[in-house]
Copies of this chain bind each other. A is one copy, B any other.
């Protein structure tokens, strides 16, 4: 399989526009845009074709998507990513006796490498613009939800056609600009991933939630994993017979790292940004969605903290979910603070008002674009009305394990009986296996008291809902259990009588017909059945919204290009992107300056006896004896720990390789600064900074703390003394 040649690229460029993009360092560039960037002028010292060129073993083939990002660092499928990216898999592999989360893990031999359950690795093989194909299915008379369904259907067809002609690969069509452009990506999916080396949590998660989204940072947030394939080199599920994957390209590590002002670039899979969205969207986020999520996640964390306070097994079970909730919560808190500080909505409104003035001044523009902004505003205005009820429905499904099991079983029984292309995506033949596996994996971290408390809390929230936005389907439940006490009893009975906690029972249920499932009489299935119309309603509402917004955003994009006389790059959407910048400090506020490199001395400054600052004593001893090996930076007289740079990243860039001007690995991206959480809505040269663990710290920990000689040898950096 090859990267598509010029015609495909041309198509894509045609859609995205051909002029240069705006801000010098803003941007997560799709591969299709790279040729427009003069990276040599920015500081790149290798040919840009080294990064990506058709038919060449470019750097992009060293990049894997593992939810977040990783990069191959050896010919034998070894890749590096973040500790927090492997966290769930390490947690799943840990027991109280073998607590790899707490103690770290280093495989002595390949045979000792542990399966990283739930992890897959995706490699981008090719891409092609399919905008005309996708948008070709639309016609003027379509209702809004119908419009969305037609696009979804066409995309499914394109994917099916592609996967048919390229067996063993996975195809995905990604919407680049909302309602305007669609790109078909073809991926290799590796399914046998194993844990090779993770430092103890006291290094890999040093600073924990306190330091999360913060600079200065001192976290050794790295892990090494290995991808395996079937003996014939094709992707395969875990099997002892599998052999290491042979990537077309792997990154060379430069153990000398970088220094202040050095050029760096990153490749990775940034998740979502919303820079092309409107003030009304941002106001919706600022006033409704984010505050709701912050409050709700906070509640759930409190419930979990409470449950795990006196039981390490429970704490271990809940660790990954708590980490994920806390991470989002703090990110949103940072965003909310940033939005207020920058008066972002107000500023966006000002820009939109000016653009509206430009439209009004020209009758032709007015006819074409006059109502775009008000139409978008209206859609977000309507979303506000049903918001509270929708949150309850969403979190019932995503936050309550038992309800999620029941819901998935019921929906699967209905969806899997439809023709494949008409199913909702998780139930299509190509996805159903993974959906089912994820569901069963979620069972591992199920803990009834927390699940029950979350369920109860959501029912209470549902009961408090007022029109518009009430969930009428629950009226009967609340009539039957009017008091808190009776509702408590209902919840208690539900958990006492459900059998969904039994894996084989759940497995069996996933094969049954809707009527068989309903006949089983499970209380959660009964609730899922009661709510089924409400969820259908919600889905229709969401598709109709997308049907309304997509063409409006497409128009808005056209208009903005006209108005500003320039083109843009699309918001991040979990597809492969390049971003670049320099190692640079910043000022987070009046009279404060943050330098862009931290040191081992800083780790020890923060060290206490208590997590998350409980540095292993061995680290302190090594620092005391100044045993820095080859990893000290002369200017600091110390081992650099983390680095800061002004490249443009977001969630999904976790684990992205930070490369120097010669394309050598010098760091592993893992976070942004608190001020840069706002990146997703607005980027600024002043405060948008991302954070990597310095490769010198990675190697120093591996060599001096873990004695990982075999690993260092595989990395081409044999340990020496």
A residues near B, CB below 8 A? 215-216, 218, 340-341, 585, 589-599, 601-602, 605-606, 608
Query: Which residue on chain B has the smallest CB distance to residue A601?
Result: B590
Are the C-beta atoms of A602 and B591 separated by less than 8 Å? yes
Q: Is the CB of A598 within 8 A of B594?
A: no
The answer, among B216, B590, B593, B597, for a CB contact under 8 Å with A218, is B590
Residues in chain B near residue A341, CB distance under 8 A: 605
Given A590-B599, A591-B595, A593-B595, list of 7 further CB < 8 A pairs? Answer: A216-B589, A341-B605, A589-B602, A589-B606, A591-B596, A591-B598, A593-B593
Q: Please name all residues of chain B whose beta carbon is closer than 8 Å to the beta carbon of A601 when the two chains form the complex.
A: 590
24 pairs from A and B in contact (CB 8 Å cutoff): A216-B589, A216-B592, A340-B608, A341-B605, A589-B602, A589-B605, A589-B606, A590-B598, A590-B599, A590-B601, A590-B602, A590-B605, A591-B594, A591-B595, A591-B596, A591-B597, A591-B598, A591-B599, A591-B602, A592-B592, A592-B593, A592-B594, A593-B593, A593-B594
- Complex Cα–Cα for A606 and B599 (A): 29
User: Which residues of chain B are near A598, meaning CB under 8 Å?
Assistant: 590-591
| A595 contacts across to B, CB distance below 8 A | 591-593
Scoring A341, A591, A594 by chain B CB atoms within 10 A of each residue's CB, the highest score goes to A591
| A589→B606 CA distance, assembly (Å) | 9
Instruction: State in angstroms the CA–CA spacing of A602 and B588 once bound together.
Output: 11
A602 proximity list for chain B (CB < 8 A): 589-591
Neighbouring B residues of A585 by C-beta, 8 Å: 591
Q: Which residues of B contact A608 (CB under 8 A)?
A: 340
Residues of chain B contacted by A215 (CB below 8 angstroms): 591
**A659 to B602 CA separation, bound complex (whole angstroms):** 36
Of chain B, the residue at the smallest CB distance from A215 is: B591
A603 to B, closest residue via Cβ? B590
In the bound complex, residues from chain B placing their C-beta under 8 Å from that of A597 are: 591
- Closest Cβ–Cβ distance, residue A218 to chain B (whole Å): 7
Bound CA–CA A596/B594 (angstroms) = 15
Give the CA-CA distance A594 to B588 in the complex, in Å: 11
Q: Complex formed: what's the CA distance from A215 to B596 in Å?
A: 21
Majority secondary structure of chain A interface residues (helix, strand, loop or mixed): mixed
With a cutoff of 8 Å between Cβ atoms, the chain B residues found around residue A593 in the complex are 592-595
A373 vs chain B, min Cβ distance (A): 27
Give Cα distance in the complex from A216 to B587, angstroms: 12
The complex places the Cα of A589 from the Cα of B218 at a distance, in Å, of: 12
Bound together, the chains give a CA A589 to CA B594 distance in angstroms of: 10
Q: Which 5 A-B pairs have the closest CB atoms?
A: A590-B602, A216-B591, A591-B595, A593-B593, A591-B598
B residues near A590, Cβ cutoff 8 Å: 216, 218, 598-599, 601-602, 605
- When distances are taken between beta carbons in the complex, the residues of chain B under 8 Å from A605 are 341, 589-590
How far is A443 from B608 in the complex, measured between Cα atoms in Å? 44
Q: A283 to nearest B CB, angstroms?
A: 17
The answer for the CA separation of A608 and B337 in the assembled complex, in Å, is: 10
Complex alpha-carbon distance, A427 and B591, angstroms: 50
- Bound state CA distance, A98 and B593, in angstroms? 42
Compute how far the CA of A608 lies from the CA of B343 in the bound complex, rounded to whole angstroms: 12
| Cβ distance A217 to chain B, nearest Cβ, rounded Å | 9
Distance from A228 Cβ to chain B, minimum over Cβ atoms (Å)? 39
Residue of B nearest to A602 (CB): B590
Q: Identify the closest chain B residue to A608 (Cβ).
A: B340
A673 CB to closest chain B CB (Å) equals: 12
Complexed CA–CA distance, A170 and B599 (Å):
56
> Closest Cβ of chain B: how far from A491's Cβ, in Å?
33
Nearest CB in chain B: distance from A100 CB, A: 29
Measured between beta carbons, the chain B residues less than 8 angstroms from A599 are 590-591
Q: Which of A340, A593, A597, A599 has the most CB of B within 10 A?
A: A593
Q: How far is the CB of A263 from chain B (nearest CB, A)?
A: 21
* CB closest residue in chain B, given A638: B590
Which chain B residue shows the least CB distance to A642?
Answer: B591
* CB neighbours of A591 from chain B (8 A): 215-216, 585, 594-599, 602
Of A216, A340, A589, A592, chain B has the most CB atoms within 10 Å of the CB of A592
Shortest CB distance A213–B (Å): 16
**Cβ of A302 to closest chain B Cβ, rounded Å:** 19
Return the chain B residue nearest A604 by Cβ: B590
| Bound: A594/B593 CA distance, A | 6
- Among A215, A341, A590, A595, the one with the most B-chain Cβ atoms within 10 Å of its Cβ is A590
- Tell me how far the C-beta of A259 lies from the nearest C-beta in chain B, rounded to whole angstroms: 14
CA distance A595 to B589 in the complex (A): 11
Q: Which residues of chain B are within 8 angstroms of A592 by Cβ–Cβ distance? A: 216, 592-595
CB distance from A195 to the nearest CB of B (A): 30
Q: Which of A595, A596, A599, A601 has the most CB of B within 10 A?
A: A595
Q: Which chain B residue has the least Cβ–Cβ distance from A609?
A: B340
Q: How far is the CA of A215 from the CA of B593 in the complex (A)?
A: 12
Q: CB-nearest residue of chain B relative to A600?
A: B590
Closest to A641 in B: B590
- Cα A589 to Cα B592 in complex, Å, equals 12
Rounded to whole angstroms, the CA-CA distance of A148 and B605 in the bound complex is: 43
In the complex, what distance in Å separates the CA atom of A599 from the CA atom of B608? 35
CB neighbours (8 Å) of A340 from chain B are 608
A96–B549 Cα distance when bound, in Å, is 53
Which residue of B is nearest A596, CB measured? B591
Task: Give the Cβ gap from A587 to chain B, nearest Cβ, in Å.
Answer: 9
In angstroms, Cα B606 to Cα A596, docked, is: 24
Q: How far is the CA of A595 from the CA of B594 in the complex (A)?
A: 11
